[in-house]
Amino acid sequence: MTDSNSRIGKETALDLASMGATLVKVLIFNNGRAEAIGGQPVPDHVLECILRGYEPHLRGIKNPQDMREVEFVLTEANQARGMRIVIADYRKR
């Protein structure tokens, strides 16, 4: 969208955060497949490309079986004053 009213600028987001507003928190379960549309494989570079513009907000869980790592990353994301996108890596290696 190009309408300036449809975007929240960086300054506005910071103002909202300073007022105690909870900004967007996203958890992505990356299993390497598009399960919602039939289970087609999703090449690694596609997710990386989509999220490239959000790099300062990205956090990763490399081993979802490690409860310490999961708790650490999710706690940081929950307590962050800004947006966080957490990607839990469930791909088979």
User: Does any domain span residue 16?
Assistant: no
Q: What is the pLDDT of residue 21?
A: 64
pLDDT tens track for 25-79? 999 999 999 988 888 999 989 999 999 999 999 999 999 999 999 999 999 999 9
User: Does any domain span residue 41?
Assistant: yes
Q: Which two tokens stand for residue 30?
A: 């990356």
Full domain range(s) for residue 58? 22-89
User: Does any domain span residue 70?
Assistant: yes
User: Does any domain span residue 6?
Assistant: no
Calpha distance 59→25 (Å, rounded): 11
Residue 15 has pLDDT above 90, yes or no: no
Q: What is the 3-state secondary structure (H, E, C) of 73-92?
A: HHHHHHHCCCCEEEEEECCC
CA diameter of the chain: 44
Q: What is the pLDDT of residue 82?
A: 86
Residue 5 has pLDDT above 60, yes or no: no
Instruction: Using CA atoms of 40, 44, 45, 49 in order, give the dihedral in degrees to the nearest 10.
Output: 90
User: Does any domain span residue 63?
Assistant: yes
Q: Which position has the token pair 């966080």?
A: 84
Residue 12 has pLDDT above 80, yes or no: no
User: Does any domain span residue 30?
Assistant: yes
Domain count, the chain: 1
User: Does any domain span residue 10?
Assistant: no
Read off the pTM: 0.72
User: Does any domain span residue 9?
Assistant: no
